[in-house]
Chains A and B, each alone.
Chain A
Amino acid sequence: MSWLIAFFDWLVEFFGDPARWSGPDGIPARLLEHLEFSALALALAVLIAVPLGLLIGHTGRGEVVVVVSANLARALPTLGLLVMFVLLLGAASVWPVIIPLVLLAVPPILVNTFEGIKGVDPELRDAAYGMGLRGGQVLGRVLVPVALPLILLGCRLSAIQVVATTTVAAYTGLGGLGRFIIDGFATKDYARVVGGSVLIVLFALVVQILFALAQRVTVSPGVSRRLKVR
């Protein structure tokens, strides 16, 4: 119980402090930074992984590459990459943070996109070609809409991991909500650690909700089978 009370006290202390809500170390600024890092990393990952997944899933060539490289990328320690790129590129730019995050985000998107496309019923693919759709049309008008739930799932998993992991950016002196956590830990200000973590979890939940909404809007009810039968 005392745990819960302490937790609540911290939240009040953190969110209740008006100074927290402005300035370069305020919640809005940090949130924005966090959003920038995560969004940039995710966008890059999507730009890399989705086309690659589509290509490999569609042509059926390079399946082994996907599996192996996805596993390899999952195994890469983000902290290690972060340090490596700081040492290589200096701590001033955002790339030492963005590159590891992209590497983190690529595997789930790649694997899900690939599996999604590959998993489309071959009969469907056949029917599409049989009706005279060209390769690109088959991909864009049939395979992608049908595989969309899986593709979005991959993006969602990646987004959440990225949001949670962007925290580490603070270790090298960059901003984001991780600042609250690292600084709070350094000064043993648990209110800040807890407040920052709660912000990140909320952020992740908002991301989940956004993806759920995106799924509702973009995935055909015929695929999600959302409609009641009769």
Chain B
Amino acid sequence: GGGSTGGNPLDTTSAAPSGSASGGGGKAVVGSFDFPESVLLASIYAQALEAKGVQVDEKPNIGTREVVIDQVKSGGLTIVPEYNGNLLAFLDLKNTAATTDEVDTALQQKLPAELEVLDSSPAEDKDSLSITKDTQTKQSLNTMEDLAKVSKDMTFGGPPEFKERWEARLKEVYGIEFKEWKSTGATTADALKDGSIQVGNVFTTDPKMAANNLVALQDTKNIFPAQNVTPLLNKAAATDTIRTTLNDISAKLSTQSLLDMMQKIAVNKDEPATVAKEWLTTNGLG
């Protein structure tokens, strides 16, 4: 299918960028993708900024990168918690940068003029192809190379945009082809468990990995790039207050703390905002 987004007349949209830094705190619209970790990160950003006197408007749970980035470009959103690798892949599908540094460098080159990324945090949440422990033992699969041999009989499940981005790359690098691609949003883990798919795209920090006995196949050829949490900003609306605040957060955020926080959200069903607040307080940012 043709997923071309070029020449889309709606790409340049009407909503005017919110006026740039004005005096004290300024204004910011913090958005997030439609998965809990993104919502959590956005909430951390938002509450930290509020503490700094920025007037914050939150728009959680908007949708996929394709939709969200557009909004940041047009100024409908000021800030989104991004992952550097995915952002790069989104901007330049062919780019093979893998490590955090490589990715960040490449990103700076490819980033459109309206956008700005801040420092990448050490906290990382990688994409993965995951299978159940059951499948792993039965078919003795450990790496994605192993998967290539059996993938033709398997059904894959993941968010709809994953196919667009990775179908070609997976085939090219590993020779992985699936019998069928299914769109499973938040239910990928459940679908793996009930067997309606055999391979799924799950984030490595997703608490569902552990909860459902899932294992990630090793990405031996490093096609999934580094995925450090990286704030993405609308350049026009960015202020120094925002930049410093967010950079402070990125510095303090680690993969482990992300995992811990996600655990609270997924298992204890704590609200992202509450968890975010807790973390900010503990780290002296709130």
Chain A directly contacts chain B within the complex, with at least one CB pair under 8 Å: yes
Given A92-B194, A173-B157, A188-B67, A183 and B9 touching (CB < 8 A)?
no
Of the residues B2, B4, B161, B191, contact of A91 by C-beta under 8 Å:
B191
Looking at A12-20, A58-66, A121-129, A207-215, the stretch in contact with chain B turns out to be A12-20
Q: Closest residue to A26 on the B side, CB-wise? A: B1
Identify which of residues 38-73 in chain B touch chain A, using a CB-to-CB cut-off of 8 Å: 63-64, 66-67, 70
CA distance A183 to B164 in the complex (A): 10
Cβ proximity bits B146-168 to A, threshold 8 Å, 1 near / 0 not: 00000000000101110010000
| Contact yes or no, B9 A188, CB < 8 A | no
> Separation in Å of the A176 CB from the closest CB of chain B?
11
Q: How far is the CB of A93 from chain B (nearest CB, A)?
A: 9
A187 is contacted by which of B161, B180, B182, B196 (Cβ under 8 Å)?
Answer: B161
Q: Which residues 131-189 of B have a CB within 8 angstroms of A?
A: 157, 159-161, 164, 180-185, 187
Residues of chain B contacted by A13 (CB below 8 angstroms): 2, 4
Q: CB of A222 within 8 A of chain B?
A: no
Interface size class for chain B?
A: 20 to 34
Beta-carbon nearest neighbor of B164 in chain A: A187
Chain B CB within 10 Å, residue with most, of A86, A179, A183: A183
A residues 143-183 near B (Cβ < 8 Å) are 170-173, 179, 182-183
Known: A187-B164, A188-B70. A173 touches B194 (CB 8 A): no
Q: Is the CB of A187 within 8 A of B66?
A: yes
Docked CA distance A190–B2 (Å): 11
Interface string of B1-15 (1 = CB under 8 A from A): 111110011100000
Q: Which of chain B's residues have a CB closer than 8 A to the CB of A86?
A: 187
B101 within 8 A of A: no
Once the chains bind, are B1 and A25 in contact (CB under 8 Å)? yes
B-facing residues in A16-59 (Cβ within 8 Å):
17, 19-20, 24-25
Q: Is the CB of A186 within 8 A of B160?
A: yes
Q: Provide the residues of chain A in CB contact with B157, threshold 8 Å.
A: 173
Q: Chain A residue with minimal CB distance to B184? A: A173
Residue among A13, A20, A189 facing the most chain B CB atoms (10 A cut-off) = A189
**A90 to B9, Cβ gap below 8 A?**
no
Whether the Cβ atoms of B161 and A186 lie closer than 8 Å is yes
List of B residues within 8 angstroms of A189 by Cβ: 1-5, 164
Q: A17-B1, A90-B194, A187-B3 are in contact. Are A173 and B187 (CB under 8 A)?
A: yes
A187-B10 in contact given A20-B1, A91-B187 (Cβ < 8 Å) = no
Query: Of the candidates A19, A92, A190, which one forms a contact with B8 in the assembled complex, judged by CB atoms under 8 Å apart?
Result: A190
Query: Does A185 lie within 8 Å of B63, measured CB to CB?
Result: yes
In the bound complex, CA of A188 to CA of B161 (Å): 9
Closest to B66 in A: A188
Min CB distance, B93 to chain A, in Å?
12
B278 nearest CB across to chain A (Å) = 26
Find chain B residues with CB under 8 A from A92 CB. Answer: 190-191, 194, 196
Residues of A within 8 A of B67 (CB): 185-186, 188
Contacting pair B190 A90 (CB below 8 A): yes
Q: Hey, which chain A residues are within 8 Å of B182, CB to CB? A: 173
Q: Considering the chains assembled together, what is the distance between the CA atoms of A199 and B9 in angstroms?
A: 22
CA distance A192 to B160 in the complex (A): 12
Residue from B66, B185, B196 within 8 A of A171 (CB atoms): B185
In Å, the complex CA distance between A191 and B9 comes to: 12
Measured in the bound complex, the distance between the Cα atoms of B3 and A192 in whole Å is 9
Q: Is the CB of B63 within 8 A of A179?
A: no
Nearest-neighbor residue (CB-CB) of A174 within chain B: B183
Q: State the CA gap A179–B183 with chains docked (Å).
A: 8
A contact residues around B196 at 8 Å (CB): 91-92
Q: Which residue of chain B has its CB nearest to the CB of A171?
A: B185
Please state if A17 and B3 are interface contacts (CB–CB under 8 Å). Answer: no
Bound-complex Cα distance A182 to B161 (A): 10
Nearest 6 Cβ contacts at the A-B interface: A188-B66, A183-B160, A186-B160, A186-B64, A91-B187, A173-B184
A-B contact pairs, 13 of them (CB 8 A): A6-B8, A6-B9, A171-B185, A173-B185, A179-B183, A187-B5, A187-B64, A187-B66, A187-B164, A188-B8, A188-B64, A188-B66, A189-B1
A residues sitting closer than 8 Å to B (CB atoms) are: 2, 6, 13, 17, 19-20, 24-25, 86, 90-92, 170-173, 179, 182-183, 185-192
